[in-house]
Amino acid sequence: MPERRTVALVTLGCARNEVDSEELAGRLEADGWQLVEDAEDADVAVVNTCGFVEAAKKDSVDALLEANDLKGHGKTQAVVAVGCMAERYGKELAEALPEADGVLGFDDYSDISSRLQTILSGGSVEAHTPRDRRKLLPISPAERQGAGAGIALPGHAPVEAPEPPKDLPEGVAPASGPRAPLRRRLGSNPVASVKLASGCDRRCSFCAIPSFRGSFISRRPSDVLGETRWLAEQGVKEVMLVSENNTSYGKDLGDIRLLETLLPELAAVDGIERVRVSYLQPAEMRPGLIDVLTSTEKVAPYFDLSFQHSAPGVLRAMRRFGDTDRFLELLETIRSKAPQAGVRSNFIVGFPGETEGDVAELERFLTGARLDAIGVFGYSDEEGTEAATYDGKLPQDVVDERLAHIARLAEDLTSQRAEERLGETVEVLVESLDEDEGPLGRAAHQAPETDGQIRLTGATGGDGLLVGRMVVAKVVGTEGVDLVAECLEEAGR
């Protein structure tokens, strides 16, 4: 019997990429490939790249080069780029990075196995040719559902999907229904992301994502529910709903309030302990959505709000809406309903035309907002965006200075916010058992990887805490944005 081909998936970027990697893993394993964790143990290393900002693109190139260095020193014979950077640049990336044996776009995902086999056999696969994916679906959201035949939408069930293969390997399934994309979990973390939608209809002047992720299109509620049930069967305790803009969910299905009805159904899935929603647009927040997020059992009162700035002039130049006072009013509304609600956001400083007064206005907002987690980025031109054509570009040293200043402020403010949580009682999902630090997990106000964690103390009884358990704990200390909490009891649901 011939030895099975081996493949390793190296994932960079956001949670949406993680979902895409698990879809690729499901397709490959169903077609006979053996998945291995380390690139050095694989015949083919597939790098799922990020194409969002310069730092992320550099990380993607570094990962490709690192995987390429394994060739000739171990088992690795080929390195292939997929993901957003490969989709966005295609042939340009292939020419600039000849070390990659293949550059595949989203259109190649459905046939990923044969593409990799061709490359592994010494053949060549034509590098992906980029195109503006916003033009692939109808302009009207109401006309998009059912119009995607022949259009690759990672994470979505194809319009004309074939029956799934027979006798799928254990752990591989059409996660959201009989004709849905295959998915195979990579790892055993009790947290998993579920794609709620893909693409974006907003036209923020600094962002290129819609051009390579396409127009906004929702997944059907039955698909989201089906995938959540499957993940619960795999041992997942927390699901995080991801897309480029979750507040738009349902608009192409004829119901902009669809998320408000879907969340309680997801929370009721047997085995799921927490549902978290990410990527919310402040300008699209509805009273009904705030009510559901702050009052539904097992739905985390968590608000990942994309503010980006708070000075009106900068926001208008970004083609966004709002200002400091409106944003603070939104936060006040949220906390009046759920005082312990978690809020995080990202901000861009040094945008073209930004004045010192604009920076002071941003400082005013940050100081009053009491955010749990803050990401700060210095502006840089993104190819193909409107902002790249703007006058009023700031010198790089000014951008760097403002970035450093706001980043220091953000660090101080998030540490202060953590200290405000001293004495709070929180429900913590145990995610790992560190040999030195003991049990580590997250409370409802902390999303995976971005918002800090909680170190648990005082676990008693039996063999102590297990990964995947939900425990009640009291916050007794802080370590920057991280918290220390004393276990009180296991959450009784």
Q: What is the pLDDT of residue 61?
A: 84
Q: Is residue 168 part of a domain?
A: no
**Which residue ranges in the chain fall short of pLDDT 50?**
1, 178-179, 460-463
Q: What is the pLDDT of residue 313?
A: 97
Q: Is residue 306 part of a domain?
A: yes
Q: What is the pLDDT of residue 115?
A: 95
Q: Is residue 307 part of a domain?
A: yes
Q: Is residue 124 part of a domain?
A: yes
| 379 and 439 part of one domain | no
Q: What is the DSSP letter of 485?
A: E
Three-state DSSP class for residue 437: coil
Partners of 344 in the beta sheet?
Answer: 304, 373
User: What is the extent of the structural domain holding 443?
Assistant: 422-487
Q: Is residue 149 part of a domain?
A: no
| 311 and 198 part of one domain | yes
Instruction: Read off the CATH number of the domain in which 348 is found.
Output: 3.80.30.20
Instruction: Read off the CATH number of the domain in which 455 is found.
Output: 2.40.50.140
pTM as predicted: 0.92
Q: Is residue 174 part of a domain?
A: no
| 356 and 224 part of one domain | yes
| 41 and 60 part of one domain | yes
| 390 and 347 part of one domain | yes
Q: What rounded mean pLDDT belongs to the chain?
A: 90
| 334 and 432 part of one domain | no
Ordered alpha helix ranges (H), 303-437: 312-317, 324-337, 356-369, 396-420
347-394 residue pLDDT tens:
999 999 999 999 999 999 999 999 999 999 999 999 889 999 999 999
Structure tokens at 330: 């939104």
| 196 and 323 part of one domain | yes
| 340 and 363 part of one domain | yes
Q: What is the pLDDT of residue 491?
A: 58
Partners of 405 in the beta sheet?
Answer: none
Give the chain's domain count: 3
| Length of the chain as a residue count | 493
Last residue of a domain, one of 420, 439, 459: 420
- Within 10 Å of residue 164's Cβ, how many Cβ atoms? 17
Taking every pair of Cα atoms in the chain, the longest distance, rounded to a whole number of angstroms, is 71
Q: Is residue 180 part of a domain?
A: no
Last residue of a domain, one of 98, 115, 130: 130
| 434 and 364 part of one domain | no
13-60 residue pLDDT tens:
888 889 999 999 999 999 999 999 998 899 999 999 987 767 777 888
Q: 435 Cβ partners below 8 Å, 6+ apart? A: none
Q: Is residue 151 part of a domain?
A: no
Sequence-distant contacts of 68-71: CB under 8 A, at least 24 apart: 68/99, 68/100, 70/39, 70/40, 70/45
| 479 and 442 part of one domain | yes
Going by the annotation, the residues of the binding site for [4Fe-4S] cluster are: 14, 50, 84, 200, 204, 207
Q: What is the pLDDT of residue 65?
A: 83
| 409 and 435 part of one domain | no
Q: 72 Cβ partners below 8 Å, 6+ apart? A: none
Q: How far apart are CA 148 and CA 152, in angstroms?
A: 8
In order of 8, 15, 25, 243, 441, the CA distances from 22 in angstroms are 11, 11, 5, 16, 23
Q: How far apart are CA 140 and CA 138, in angstroms?
A: 5
Going by the annotation, the residues of the binding site are: 14, 50, 84, 200, 204, 207
* Helices and strands: H and E segment counts in the chain: 13, 20
Q: What is the pLDDT of residue 157?
A: 66
| 229 and 118 part of one domain | no
Contact 213, 198 (CB under 8 A): yes
